[in-house]
Amino acid sequence: MANITQNKTAVPMLDVKAQHEPLKEEIKQALKDILDSGQFILGPNVKSFEQEITSYFDINHALGLASGTDALFLSLKALNIKQGDEVITTPFTFIATAEAIAYVGATPVFVDIDSYTLNIDVLKIEEKITPNTRALIVVHLFGQPADMDEIMALAKKYNLKVVEDCAQSFGARYKGKPAGGIGDAGCFSFYPSKNLGAYGDGGMMITDRHEVYEKVRLLRNHGTIAPYRHGFIGYNSRLDEIQAAILRIKLKHIDEYNRKRRELAKIYTSILGDAVQCPVEFEDRTHVYHQYTFRTQIREKIAGILKDNNVSSVVYYPMPLHLQEAFNYLGYKKGDLPESEAAADEVMSIPIYPELEPEKAEQIAKIILGALKG
């Protein structure tokens, strides 16, 4: 097999430096302005960024927060989810989704996934609903919107709150609506590797509901209802000015970034579609490919051959949450959620980021094809 990257740089999973390069003068200037202003917390950049986000999503409210994890946690708090409540979610996600449920004292209830979308299987939700079920956290995993119509119908029928975990799906759309703008609250992460990535930690909650917005606005800043007056115990969870300024610059490019991710995905699927189980595309949804994740029985072999060619690959996620030690106390065992367990054994993610050249994606796909045949 020809070594495509010989004498060239390796292909990483993500190249944050390449994204920074064309923006660096604009970012330097923005940072200089902040350093000169001396205003670092809840200043004009956070305010403007929140306004720009509300127009981007055509939603009433947006709040900059310290992280995506906090966005989930504070949204559940604001929706009054508490000890004794059950919150349904997927076990095939990053742990933060379920940690947020535990933070408010509620119990995560895991529902198995659909083997094609890798999102929660909406046909399996109803059987897990009990008199204690209060909410659902829906994850649009890897950028693929979940089945929101079915989820909202169940939420209505059983009077459940819906929090959308959009940490991987900034800009994704479902039947014309933005992921995050459908449930009671949409939670975003600006961790550097996300589709819209900051240069440190950051997060955001969006909502159309004024009371949810008001509650999270106070929760993020120590329950401060007036200067040095605290209505209740809150937290320190603010997006900072420096991250907001960087995110404002990147927000102008997010649609282009996502468009390029979708183009690369198209190349991968066109070459690999008959050979492995590729991500599915629906006509009424826009997948934004935070990851390009496919399923195969021989991922170790493929990963090895990619590595020989200097191409990175990663397994997201090798262990579903119901089998994690952190959730031993919930009493799940192997075999309880077979689709999630099978996915954990078969998935692999390959490089996809806006700066990856289409020719490289084509070469990577061909290496994988070769590995499957060889």
Ligand X SMILES: *Cc1c(COP(=O)(O)O)cnc(C)c1O
| Distance of closest approach, residue 216 Cβ to ligand X, in angstroms | 15
| Distance of closest approach, residue 180 Cβ to ligand X, in angstroms | 12
Q: How many CA atoms lie within 13 A of 268 on its CB side?
A: 27
Q: Which residue, 167 or 364, is less far from ligand X as judged by CB?
A: 167
Q: Which residue, 147 or 165, is less far from ligand X as judged by CB?
A: 165
- What is the per-residue DSSP string for 253-264? THHHHHHHHHHH
| Distance of closest approach, residue 74 Cβ to ligand X, in angstroms | 12
| Distance of closest approach, residue 247 Cβ to ligand X, in angstroms | 12
Q: Which residue, 140 or 305, is less far from ligand X as judged by CB?
A: 140
| Distance of closest approach, residue 76 Cβ to ligand X, in angstroms | 13
| Distance of closest approach, residue 369 Cβ to ligand X, in angstroms | 29
Q: Which residue, 43 or 192, is less far from ligand X as judged by CB?
A: 192
Exposed/middle/buried for 26, CB within 10 Å: 0-12, 13-18, 19+? middle
CA angle, 149 then 151 then 153, to 5°: 70
| Distance of closest approach, residue 287 Cβ to ligand X, in angstroms | 15
**With the C-alpha atoms ordered 230, 231, 233, 237, is the resulting torsion angle positive or negative?**
negative
| Distance of closest approach, residue 4 Cβ to ligand X, in angstroms | 30
**Residue of minimal CB distance from ligand X?**
68
H or E stretch covering 294: strand 292-295
Longest pairwise C-alpha distance within the chain = 69
Inter-residue contact 137 to 163 (CB < 8 Å): yes
Q: Which residue, 237 or 309, is less far from ligand X as judged by CB?
A: 237
Q: Which residue, 143 or 234, is less far from ligand X as judged by CB?
A: 143
Instruction: Report the phi/psi class of residue 84: left, alpha or beta, with left for phi > 0 and alpha for psi in -120 to 50.
Output: left
Contact residues for ligand X, defined by CB under 6 A: 67-69, 93-94, 96-97, 139, 165, 167-168, 189, 191, 201, 203
Would you state the structure tokens that stand for residue 172, as one six-digit string? Answer: 């994704």
Q: What is the Cα–Cα distance from 344 to 73, expressed in whole angstroms? A: 26
- List, in sequence order, every beta strand (DSSP E) within 69-160: 86-89, 107-110, 133-139
Would you state the structure tokens that stand for residue 315, as one six-digit string? Answer: 């397994």
Q: Which residue, 166 or 311, is less far from ligand X as judged by CB?
A: 166
Q: What is the Cα–Cα distance from 190 to 16, expressed in whole angstroms? A: 13
What are φ and ψ of residue 366, in 5° steps?
-70, -35
The CB density around residue 316, as the number of other CB atoms within 10 Å, is: 19
Q: Which residue, 45 or 69, is less far from ligand X as judged by CB?
A: 69
